[in-house]
């Protein structure tokens, strides 16, 4: 998938492949102005069990799995794998697979503060790796049951970690955040950009001005 002509302040220096079909991640990355290809990973996601030392370790492993999966069929360039989960009191809450699961997750989050963790792995074919975890604290408003049910009825919960979208209708559920906003959307843009710059995969774009 090729995006339209970029207009942001950066340009690609190497082939960049996003190992995700998420339109939210694609939109965030495209805002930088770089061109990239989208090749969704089909690598199985690890299952959360108490054997994982932390939610961060878990989400970074998932991101690495995606990157390695796509890297095998990539002749050159940099592959970006990312995975986002919700952590509440040490447990991982993933994506809701049904309306009832979504309601259960939102009930647990209501009136409490949880962490949104995104693991990112940037790996260059035959080169180095940038791997990191970004965490954002999100305080949710205490919301009545009928309001939660009405929100779930919109269907926006589908495919979303924590069963809500901070960038969409679900923004009314969020009382405040501490940390990266784009991380809650699904991709910590500042940290990803820093990694791409260190790997010399992108450069700053300066418009030529007439004298």
CATH fold for the domain made of 10-204: Maf protein (3.90.950)
Q: What is the pLDDT of residue 121?
A: 97
Average pLDDT over residues 167-191: 96
Q: Per the structure block, which two tokens stand in for 175?
A: 């009382």
Residue 181 — pLDDT band, cuts 50, 70, 90? very high
- For the segment 146-174, the average pLDDT, to the nearest whole number, is 96
Tell me what percent of the residues of the chain surpass a pLDDT of 70: 93
More confident residue, 77 or 8: 77
pLDDT tens for 95-122 read 899 999 999 999 999 999 999 999 999 9
Q: What is the 3-state secondary structure (H, E, C) of the chain?
A: CCCCCCCCCEEECCCEEECCCCHHHHHHHHHCCCCCEECCCCCCCCCCCCCCCCHHHHHHHHHHHHHHHHHCCCCCCEEEEEEEEEEECCEEECECCCHHHHHHHHHHHCCCEEEEEEEEEEEECCCCEEEEEEEEEEEECCCCHHHHHHHHHCCCCCCCECCCCCCCHHHHHEEEEECCHHHHHCCCHHHHHHHHHHCCCEEECCCCCCC
Nearest CA among 194, 150, 185 for reference residue 166: 185
pLDDT tier for residue 46 given thresholds of 50, 70 and 90: confident
Average pLDDT, the chain: 91
Say if pTM beats, i.e. exceeds, 0.85. Answer: yes
Question: What per-residue confidence (pLDDT) applies to 139?
Answer: 98
pLDDT of 1 > 50? The answer is no
137 is known as an active-site residue? no
| pLDDT > 90? residue 210 | no
pLDDT at 206: 79
Exactly one of 27, 69, 83, 104 is catalytic; which is it? 83
Domain limits of the chain?
Answer: 10-204
What's phi and psi for 204, nearest 5 deg?
A: -75, 135
Average of per-residue pLDDT across 9-25 = 94
């Amino acid at each position: 998938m090729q995006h339209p002509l970029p207009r942001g302040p950066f340009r690609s220096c190497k082939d960049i492949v996003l190992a995700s079909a998420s339109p939210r991640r694609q939109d965030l990355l495209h805002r930088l102005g770089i061109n990239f290809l989208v090749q969704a990973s089909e690598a199985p996601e690890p299952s959360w069990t108490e054997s994982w030392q932390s939610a961060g370790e878990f989400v970074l492993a998932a991101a690495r799995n995606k990157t390695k999966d796509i890297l095998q069929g990539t002749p050159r360039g940099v592959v970006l794998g990312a995975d986002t989960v919700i952590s509440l009191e040490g447990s991982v809450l993933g994506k809701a697979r049904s309306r009832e699961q979504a309601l259960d997750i939102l009930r647990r989050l209501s009136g409490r503060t949880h962490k949104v963790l995104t693991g990112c792995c940037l790996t260059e074919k035959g080169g180095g790796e940038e791997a990191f975890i970004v965490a954002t604290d999100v305080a949710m408003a205490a919301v009545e049951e009928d309001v939660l049910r009405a929100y779930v009825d919109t269907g926006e919960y589908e495919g979303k970690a924590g069963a809500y979208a901070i960038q969409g209708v679900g923004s009314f559920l969020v009382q405040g955040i501490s940390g990266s906003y784009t991380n809650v959307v699904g991709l910590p843009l500042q940290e990803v950009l820093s990694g791409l710059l260190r790997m010399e995969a992108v450069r700053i774009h300066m418009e030529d001005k007439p004298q």
